[in-house]
Structures are given as C-alpha cells and as structure tokens.
Chains A and B, each alone.
Chain A
Amino acid sequence: MTFGGGVLRRMAVLLVAAVGGFMPTVMAFGADDQPLPKRQLSDEELLRKRIAESLAGLRDSRTPTLQTLRGPELSDREKVVHVLNRLGFGPRPGEVDDVVKHGGWQAWVKLQLDPAKIDDATCDRVVSQRFPWAKMSIGELQKNYEGDRENIRNLRSQLPEYVLTRAVLSNRQFMELMCDFWRNHFCVDQPDTQEKSRSWTDADYENQVIRPHVFGTFRDMLIASARHPAMLEYLDNKLSRANNWNENYAREVMELHTLGADRGYGNSDVVELSKILTGWGYDDTYQFAFNADWHQPGFKYWLGMKVPAGYAGGVEALTTLANHPNTAQFIAEKLCRYLVNDNPPPELVRRVASVFRQSGGDLPKVYWAIISSREFMGRDNYRAKFKTPFQFAVSALRATGAKLDSAAQVCHTLEKMGEPIYNCPDPTGWRDQAESWMDAGVLTTRWQFAWDLARGSVDGVTVSESFFSRYKSDKPEQTEQKMIEELIGGDAGDRELAALKEVASNGDVPRMTSILLGSPSFQQR
C-alpha cells in the first residue's frame, strides 16, 4: 500500500506533545509543503516520534486508512505462538509444539471458537471443589451470604481467585480471555461491605451475565447486565423512580456499554433514557422486578424515537442501543484494540463493525471477522501488545506449568500491580492499552513476581522440578535456546541474551526462568 507524497510529508511533521492521555495536542511544526529539517534524527528521537505519531494516529483525520502490512508473513510456528498469546493467556510448556503437530493454528482456533467441544474436566473439578458458591443460584447465595460480613469477606477474596484460577487452568482459553474483555466492558465492582448487595451478587453476575453470553449475542449480554442486581445497584438504576430518576446508568450504558462517549446522543437523551428505565429493580429474592409504580408514565422522546411507557419500552431502548451502528463501531474498535493492536487499523474496525451490524451482534461471528483478517496475522501486529497485569500473571503461571493450590497471593500481587480483579475504581473497567499500564510501576513488581515464582516463594504456587529439568542439558546453549523458544516464543533480543549468558553457564534454570519472565519480551503478547 502506498499513499501520496503529500500525506507522507504531512505525517512526518507531526509531533505530539504528550504521549497518551493528557492533552493530546498535535502540533504541526511547519506548513504542509515545507521540507523536513535536514538534521539526522537519532534512533531515540525517531522512536519517540514514531510512538507519539502512532498513538496520536486515531485522532488525526489525515491518518492513512490502511495499515501498511510489512515484513514477511508469519511462519506457521509464529502463528501458533500468536494465537496462543492473543486468543489465550499464553502457552504451557510444550504447548506450541503440540499445536503445531496437531493441525496448527487453524485447528486450535476452530476448537476454541466452539468451547463446548473442549474437554475442561480438570478445571471444572478444581473450581467446583474450591469455590462451591460458583454453582449456587442467587437465592442460595442470598441464604448464605446476605448480611453476613465475615462470609462476604471470604467470597470477596474468592471471586478474584475463581476468575484467575479459571484463566490459568482452563483449556477453553479463548473463552476465558473474552470473559476478561467483557467483564471489563460491563464492569461492576465488589465493595467490602455487607451493606451493598453486590459484595455477594457479583458472584452470580460473573456466572450468569458474563460467562454464558461471551459466545452469544451482544444484545442478550447487554440486557442480562441491565437486569442483574449487581449492575442495578452499581450504577444506581434501582434507585431511579418516576419524577426522581437517577441518570447514572442511563449515561454509562450509552457512554461505556454501547454507543461510546459522545457518539450520537446528547444530554436530553440521557435524561429520557433514565425515565425509560425507571422502575427497573429486583425483589426481596433478588429476582429482576419491574415496579410499575416507580415507572415514569408517558411516551419518551429519545434518540429521535418515541418510546412507550412500561418495561417493554426499556427493552426496546436497550435493543435499539444494541443494534445502533455507533455501538457496532464502538464494540468493534474495542475488540480490535484488545485482540489486534492498541491502535487498531481503522479499515479493520470498519469491516468488523459491519459484521457486527449484519449479524445482529452475533459475537462468535464478530470474533471470527477479527481472527480471520490479514491484519490479525500481520507481522506488524505480532507481539505488539503489552500484557496487562492480569495477563502477565496468568501467562507466567501457564508458561511455567505452575501448580496452583491457591490463587490468593497471586491476586494480592495483582492488587500491587494496580489491577485487582472485580475492583476497578471506575465503571470503565480496566484499560488494555500499554499506555495505561506502563506507568503504574508494574515492571518492578513483575520482576519481583518473576523471581518469587521461579524460586518458589509465591504462596500456593509451585513450579515443579519437572519444569526445570525439562531444560537441563549438558550444553548451556541448548538450555538457553529451548527456554527462549518456549518462554518467549524465540524472540530474544540482545538484552535477554546478555542477561542469560552468565546464568546459563551455571546451568541455573530457575534464575534463567525468572530473567525470561521479567524480560521485555515476556511482557509482550
């Protein structure tokens, strides 16, 4: 793909003041046709410029519409590494070889998109032993937890452990990965108090709203979340009543769950949607209940529509949101950002949005539109994402084949890394772009975790001797090569090589493991 010289010149004079976040001011340093300064840029200046440009890219209308796919096609092995890292939480020891041998990446992806066909007995067994509440109905949860501070405390620490344990152990890796995505999209938090019922209804939310809908339609997940006590409480919709409506949920459902911030709705639409959704709540047994007495009577004029009063009006409104083209665009963009690139190619986003629209938000079809795209497998997007703390911790446990007797300390480490599960301070959910995570000091905590894991000082986690002996060899180069191949997908830079050299000659596999898990390469997916 080439584009005109004018575009190139204009692109080159862009410089961005702040990388990410605050004041993304784009300053042009010269008129369009002014020649570039002659001075040779240093590597670092160039790098800085590139990253600033690319991060600013989306906001600039002059951005080329097609990602320039460069470099050779990924090898079959690289494709396997890519899908295991991108569509899951990374390979277990030897898993890349297994997948290469058994049908390659296509066979793996095909199976992952049909999770019911994947045997997950081990994970299910462990989970049902450790987390008996996971099978409880909301009524049973209520009986066991409502108002019981101590019990709620336990549940509150166990829900994150449940999420993490599943992500590590499950063979349904893509399912678990997409749970991470949707859990953040339809974010609720889990407060540490018995006064808020979502301190225990969240357990039901995870198992009834998120997990069953990841391979369903977007509309069904949206409506399930809107009706669930956890969401009704979290965004205050259960407080919303006639002539005293609460705008919190109405605003967030458009801004965060469907249309995207400021995309095609105004403040009066927020007010009207609040009215449309008055009376949505739950009864004493935490079953959804529409309270007609609390419902704002009369038609509402919302997004150019005339919406009738009653529960049906609310369902109509949410369905309208689910089918709205801006929702298709917003969800497509978020999914492409999660699965392809922090700054996804707009052309891909458009294609995926159109699949979303045409399929009525049929999520497996949307996933497949992304996975089967040439952009997904493009060299440019290979290992281009920075792991979130959750992805890092899960991938490290998988890469070392660690035995996970308790996820408690790992979850505690995630808090230190700034990503406690089910405790995002904002209804936005945790962000998945590199720029949001790199500043939190996560690297140094990751170094510590890598070292603790390899020497066996993460409580409840054991990296077995058989993992270390897998790499033992008389020839240090062989040990080194195999570890690089399996732990960081063969992508060692001279940093990794230099750091490994000394340790490799002593045959110290645990130290080599911690170096690799703490290396820049392992932070990428």
Chain B
Amino acid sequence: MTSRRDFLKASGLVVMAGASGFMGLDQFIYAQDDPTPVKADGDRQKATLVTIFLRGGADALHVFVPYGDPLYYQYRKQLVLHANAPVKGANKGDKGAVPIGESPYWAINRGMADLLPLIKDGTCVPMMNVGSPDPTRSHFSAQDYMERGAPGQAGVTTGWLNRYLETTKKPFDAPLRGLSAKTLVPRALRGNYPVLAGNNHTEEMNLFEDLYSRKNLVNMDARDGGADAKGSSLDDANPNLTKHGLTADMTRDIIAASGGNAVERIKALEQVEGTPNEASYPAGELGEQLRTIARVIKANVGLEVAQADYNGWDHHSNQGGAYGRMSQMLKHLTDCVLAFRQDMGQRMDRVMLLVMTEFGRTVHENGADGTDHGRGGFMLAVGNMLKGGKIYGNWNGLQDLDSGRFQPVHTDFRAVFAESLAGLFHVDPIKGRIFPGYNARGVLEFMNPVKLS
C-alpha cells in the first residue's frame, strides 16, 4: 500500500464523498493487499459529459454577436464588436467579431474565432436565449438553481449531475463516475452519490487516510470495544431491531464511510496518474482542470460526468471591446476547449463539452464599460455527436426583450441538460425524475445519440 501514500503526498488530489457515501461501499472490489482494482463493471467505454461553468454571468451578446441587427449598435456603443456589417452604425474598421460562416446576422467574438471551423463542421453548437425560468438575478441563487437543475425549488438540494449518477447507480459502479477538478465539489455534483474533487492539499493526508481507510470500517466489533454495553446494534445479526433516529455509531459510520470513499477514489485516481496528455493546455486553472479530467477519461475508468469552473465573468465594468478583458477570457476559454478536444482526439465521438453560465446580461451597456445582470444567456456544446450547422434556441432579434432590458429565456436550461443526458447515456431523465417538476422532451434536439462500442 505504500504507493497509495506516496500518491497522496505527491498528487494533491483529494476526494469529497457523498453523505450516503456508503452507497458506494461495494462498488469497487480490491484483491487483498493488491492495490489494483478489479472492476465488476465491464463496460468502460463510457460516454462523458464535461461541463464548464462560467461563474458570474457571462455576457452572451459579447460571445455571439448579432452584428446584422441594427439595434445592436444602439445598445452597444463602448462595447460594440464590429464585423463589417452593412447596417447603420456598423464600422468597417476594427474587427471585434468574425461572421459565422456566411451569416449576415451572426458573428463570434474574435477571441473565439478558432471555434469557427468546428461550428462549420457541426461539432460545435451555439445556443441562445437559454436560461432559467426563475427570474432571480442573484449569482448565488441563479448558480444554485442551475446546478441543482431545479429553478425556484428550494427543496431540491442535490445537483443534477449527481442525481444522474444516483439514479443510474449499479451495485458495482466504477469509482470515478463523477469528478470535479476544483477544491470543493460544485453544487451540480453534490448529493448522495460520492464524487471526487481535485484539491491542492498535499501535506500529511496520509494521517487521515489511516483514520478513514476501509479496512477499519469492516472491523466494527473491535471499533468501540464495548459496543454491546453501549447498546450498539450494528453487530446485531437481527435486522428487525431497527431504531428511531441516528445513533452515535451510525453517525460515525457515515462519517467514516464518507472519508473512506474519499480514500478509495484517490486510489482509483492513482491508476490514472501516469496517463499522458496529448495536448498542451494553456496555463491557468481551467486548463489544469481540463487536463485532469482528460487524463481520467483517457484512462477508461468509467468517468461519466465532470465539471470544471471558470470564474470572473461578472463584468459590471472593465468588460472591454475587441481587445478587452472579456474578449481575452473568451480567447483563453477557446484555447482550453481546443486543447481538450485535441487531447481527446477520436474520443470526442463520445465526449461532450457543455459550456454554461448562470444568466446573460443587460442588452444595454451600463455606461461603465460593462453590463449588468440579465436573464437569457447562451450555452455552447462541443462534440462529434452534435447536429451542428446552426444556432439553436428561439431568437427573434434584439427587439425581443424581457422587461425591455434582458435577453429573454425561450429555452429552459433543463431542456439542454435533459437532452445531453439522454443523448450521451441513453437514459430518460424525465422518467428518471432527474429534473423534478420538469417534463419536456426533445425541445432543441441538438445532438445524435452516442454510439458506444
């Protein structure tokens, strides 16, 4: 077991595991004293959904630019991105945006121009006027609602990606079906199903690994010494004698199992450490997260859902024009996406990237080189299974506004989530009640079902 400890010290990867982490206890079988996992799950050629969450509410109109809409030039003066449009107000000089194909209406931020070939060959799909049916414009609530996949429903506290894992779990799941490459498990991946989170803790984790290792968990009799005397019923062979409430023993075992899950998933990740990346990722957190996720995918250990985060999109000011802050961030996002795609190679047949943000922004710029919180926004999907060639979502021009200020929401983000799960994993998220209270099917139909070998 020394290799495991070395890994813990070296890798900086730690795990967050679910409360009912013990649901995953049997999911992975280890041969005695042999760290090599024996998988009961034969199908390792899994499809994978990788979400990238742009936190802060990225301005959709700065991403996909309706450069053929004369209204655009009324709403945007400081922030305007020109693309040689033959309309009033447009400027032939500085090209802040590049037309998408032959479109006289749509252009893309110049920072994202490298996505144009993908949009053209149909493997990159933009979506507009997507968002939450709940009108909140608080970052906290909007992100939570989106990640829970349950807008306006305070009672739903688990994430939609976690609910997918939970409803499809089998007795012998692969240990790394879900992954977050951030320090904390993001809301979308939180819930009952144990999910791994990357982390930069390196020191002394072996101390805690000893405390939580599974070996001690099975050894329940010895655990408390006088278990009987304390009235513990865990070693009681008769399952009839159930009690009311959580006892100390139960609480402790939940805690221990949660930590144990963490340790076990670290062991699984150890296998992945040596997997090489075949692309050079831009320096920075997003590239680092995607690199980790790519490695796990390439190791074929059954990763199905993963999330990466990219912070800093709340551009009330300093949004900038063609060469401004947001355009630079979009360039960075694009470089990271393309590195990931190159790293994946043919795997993009069964791997889909889904870029999202909690809301769009005001259509009017705010006079402080920025935009304020809005409603409808954009999403962007990348993968070989997509039915590209157009911009998805219901778009009626810039005269179609919500409250006179915001892009409207014409497509519930849950439509995109549900279709992604259905297309990638051949499940019926509506029947599986992954999105409580949501029943629509086939709203956008932006992808073909993934074929698995």
Interface set of A (CB-CB < 8 Å, partner B): 8-9, 11-12, 18-23, 36, 40-41, 43-44, 46-55, 57, 63-64, 66-68, 70-72, 261, 341-345, 379-386, 416, 418, 425-428, 434-445, 447-448, 451, 491, 493-496, 498-499, 503, 511, 514-515, 518-521, 523-524
25 A–B contacts, CB within 8 A, in A order: A8-B240, A36-B239, A47-B253, A49-B239, A50-B234, A51-B20, A52-B20, A55-B246, A57-B245, A67-B245, A70-B233, A343-B245, A416-B184, A425-B140, A427-B154, A442-B16, A443-B17, A443-B258, A447-B208, A451-B203, A494-B222, A495-B212, A499-B211, A515-B207, A515-B208
CB-CB under 8 A from B230, the residues of chain A are: 71-72, 379
A444→B211 CA distance, assembly (Å) = 12
A22-B166, A444-B262 as given contacts; A51 in contact with B211, CB under 8 Å: no
A516→B219 CA distance, assembly (Å) = 19
A47-B234, A70-B243 as given contacts; A514 in contact with B207, CB under 8 Å: yes
CB-CB under 8 A from A36, the residues of chain B are: 239-240
Any chain A CB within 8 A of the CB of B398?
no
Q: Tell me whether B190 and A344 are in contact (CB under 8 A).
A: no
A480→B21 CA distance, assembly (Å) = 30
For residues 196 through 233 of chain B, which have their beta carbon under 8 Å from a beta carbon of chain A?
197, 199, 201, 203-205, 207-208, 210-212, 216-220, 222-224, 229-233
Q: Tell me whether B234 and A46 are in contact (CB under 8 A).
A: yes
Q: Please indicate which of the listed interface residues B184, B197, B251, B436 has the most CB atoms of chain A within 10 Å of its own CB.
A: B251
> From residue A203, how far is it (CB to closest CB) to chain B in Å?
21
A5→B26 CA distance, assembly (Å) = 32
CB-CB under 8 A from B222, the residues of chain A are: 494
Q: Tell me whether B229 and A51 are in contact (CB under 8 A).
A: no
Q: Tell me whether B242 and A495 are in contact (CB under 8 A).
A: no
Q: CB within 8 A of B191: which of A12, A22, A63?
A: A22
CB-CB under 8 A from A496, the residues of chain B are: 211
Q: Tell me whether A447 and B201 are in contact (CB under 8 A).
A: yes
Q: List 11 additional A-B contacts (Cβ < 8 Å) besides A498-B210, A524-B248.
A: A8-B240, A8-B241, A19-B23, A21-B157, A54-B242, A57-B244, A381-B247, A440-B190, A443-B17, A447-B201, A515-B211
> From residue B238, how far is it (CB to closest CB) to chain A in Å?
9
A317→B210 CA distance, assembly (Å) = 57
Q: Tell me whether A434 and B254 are in contact (CB under 8 A).
A: yes
A54-B243, A379-B230, A451-B207 as given contacts; A444 in contact with B15, CB under 8 Å: yes
CB-CB under 8 A from B235, the residues of chain A are: 43
Q: Tell me whether B23 and A416 are in contact (CB under 8 A).
A: no
Q: CB within 8 A of B259: which of A68, A341, A343, A520?
A: A520
Q: Tell me whether A383 and B248 are in contact (CB under 8 A).
A: yes
CB-CB under 8 A from B239, the residues of chain A are: 12, 36, 41, 46, 49-50
Q: Tell me whether A68 and B243 are in contact (CB under 8 A).
A: yes
> From residue A310, how far is it (CB to closest CB) to chain B in Å?
32
> From residue A221, how far is it (CB to closest CB) to chain B in Å?
22
A8→B238 CA distance, assembly (Å) = 11
Interface string of B173-192 (1 = CB under 8 A from A): 00000000001110000111
Top 5 nearest A-B pairs by Cβ distance? A71-B231, A441-B16, A438-B19, A19-B20, A383-B248
Q: Please indicate which of the listed interface residues A54, A55, A444, A514 has the most CB atoms of chain B within 10 Å of its own CB.
A: A444
Any chain A CB within 8 A of the CB of B158?
yes
Q: Tell me whether A495 and B250 are in contact (CB under 8 A).
A: no
> From residue B353, how far is it (CB to closest CB) to chain A in Å?
24
Q: Tell me whether A444 and B246 are in contact (CB under 8 A).
A: no
CB-CB under 8 A from B40, the residues of chain A are: none
CB-CB under 8 A from B219, the residues of chain A are: 494
Q: CB within 8 A of B231: which of A55, A380, A447?
A: A380
Q: Tell me whether B211 and A18 are in contact (CB under 8 A).
A: no
Q: Tell me whether B210 and A451 are in contact (CB under 8 A).
A: no
> From residue B68, how far is it (CB to closest CB) to chain A in Å?
36
CB-CB under 8 A from B246, the residues of chain A are: 51, 54-55, 341-343, 384-385, 434
A68→B233 CA distance, assembly (Å) = 12
A47→B217 CA distance, assembly (Å) = 11
CB-CB under 8 A from B25, the residues of chain A are: 44, 48
Interface string of B122-157 (1 = CB under 8 A from A): 000000000000000000110010000000001111
Q: Tell me whether A439 and B191 are in contact (CB under 8 A).
A: yes
Q: CB within 8 A of B199: which of A51, A345, A444?
A: A444
A425→B141 CA distance, assembly (Å) = 6
In the complex formed, the residue of A with least CB distance to B213 is A495
Any chain A CB within 8 A of the CB of B18?
yes
Q: Tell me whether B255 and A499 are in contact (CB under 8 A).
A: no
A209→B194 CA distance, assembly (Å) = 39
Q: Tell me whether B158 and A443 are in contact (CB under 8 A).
A: no
> From residue A369, how far is it (CB to closest CB) to chain B in Å?
18
A188→B237 CA distance, assembly (Å) = 48
A8-B240, A444-B201, A451-B204 as given contacts; A426 in contact with B185, CB under 8 Å: no
CB-CB under 8 A from B185, the residues of chain A are: 439-441
A104→B76 CA distance, assembly (Å) = 72
A118→B232 CA distance, assembly (Å) = 38
> From residue A55, how far is it (CB to closest CB) to chain B in Å?
8
CB-CB under 8 A from B88, the residues of chain A are: none
Any chain A CB within 8 A of the CB of B108?
no
A21→B241 CA distance, assembly (Å) = 25
Q: CB within 8 A of B255: which of A55, A341, A343, A524?
A: A524
A491→B255 CA distance, assembly (Å) = 15
A345→B244 CA distance, assembly (Å) = 7
CB-CB under 8 A from A439, the residues of chain B are: 16-19, 158, 185, 190-192, 258
A83→B262 CA distance, assembly (Å) = 32
A11→B239 CA distance, assembly (Å) = 10
CB-CB under 8 A from A416, the residues of chain B are: 183-184
> From residue A355, how far is it (CB to closest CB) to chain B in Å?
20
